[in-house]
Structure 1
Amino acid sequence: MRRIVPASLATAALAFGLLGIGTGTAQAATASCTTSTLDMGVIVPSTSSYSTDCLLGQGNQSEAVEVLQSALSVCYGQNIASDGVFGPATKSALVAVQRQIGVSADGVYGPNTRNHMKFIKGSISAGDSVCRVY
């Protein structure tokens, strides 16, 4: 059985992070990242249930965006603020990093980008690198 959602409800749901970003089936079923978690030794964006299979895109505003921005800045030298707001500067920085790491440069953070990106490590020893790939 298929459910039809009126465009106005879908737009409101997307604005509040209730629908995934994008139009593909896999993306529509993926939740927005809202917080962060320490996973495999790095701090990564996650959902409130700590799933790292989540999406971030322009318009999102959360702790997860701040974690992404910090990784883009610290690990890749992108000159952006870590303010938790996914605006045009964050999208541009993400596209540049996506090109650098060889994934689809669409400006949307999701599992494929996560699996190829460096993030800030949860603990660092003297002489140790601050970032590593998830």
Structure 2
Amino acid sequence: MSIRLGKRSRSLLATGALTVGLLGGAVAVAPSAAAWTYVGECSSSHKIIYNTTSSQSIKIPDVWYQGYYNVRCWMDYGSAGVGVEALQLALKSCYGRSIAVDGEFGPATRDALKYAQGQEGITVDGLYGEQVFENLKWARYKQDGTRNGCASRDF
């Protein structure tokens, strides 16, 4: 049994298929409203006050971007610098990993990061980005600059 479509039916069917195709593509590639927009590789780090009642700070990786330090940065195997050092410090002091704090994102840093990602229940891929920033514990400091344990980012 075959169905014969008239000219109008074929036109509507083609228009509908085109619309579904276009909308489907737009939905597939459109970022969510909460998507993290990376502005560069983490090349610096700073201590920022995370708890105003105690004036304690945490040390986090960031990048200089358009006149400001921005935490929307990434790191992965081969990255280097003080941003990597801040991550390594957190992995060593907050997750007990035996790694050098040398600013080189090599196999030991990647493995330590995978361990920490597993501990925090986030994607285990050895890459630093939004999930890691949001969920890792960071080296905590008192006002006088002495280390004071670890803290989750809660600001």
Distance 2:130 2:39 in 1: 10
Aligned to 1:94: 113
Of residues 31, 34, 45 in structure 2, which corresponds to 1:36?
45
Q: What is the identity, as a one-letter code, of the residue corresponding to 2:58?
A: V
Q: Is the 8 A contact 2:36 2:130 kept in 1?
A: no
Runs of 4+ deviating beyond 3 Å:
25-30
Shift of 1:110: 0.8
The alignment-based identity, stated in percent, is 33
Alignment of 1:1-134 (within 5 A): 29-39=38-48, 40=50, 41-48=57-64, 49-123=68-142, 129-134=148-153
Distance 1:74 1:92 in 2: 15
Unaligned 5+ runs, structure 1: 1-24
Shift of 1:27: 7.4
Q: What is the identity, as a one-letter code, of the residue corresponding to 2:60?
A: V
Q: Is the 8 A contact 1:124 1:130 kept in 2?
A: no
Q: Indicate the RMSD between aligned Cα atoms, in angstroms.
A: 2.1
For 1:50, what is the secondary structure of its paired residue?
A: strand
Aligned to 1:7: none
Q: Is the 8 A contact 2:46 2:62 kept in 1?
A: yes
Q: What is the identity, as a one-letter code, of the residue corresponding to 2:118?
A: R
Larger Rg: 2
- Bigger fraction of residues in strand: 2
Give the TM-score, by structure 1 length: 0.73
Give the TM-score, by structure 2 length: 0.63
In structure 2, the CA distance between the partners of 1:71 and 1:29, relative to structure 1 (3 Å rule), is closer
Shift of 1:36: 0.4
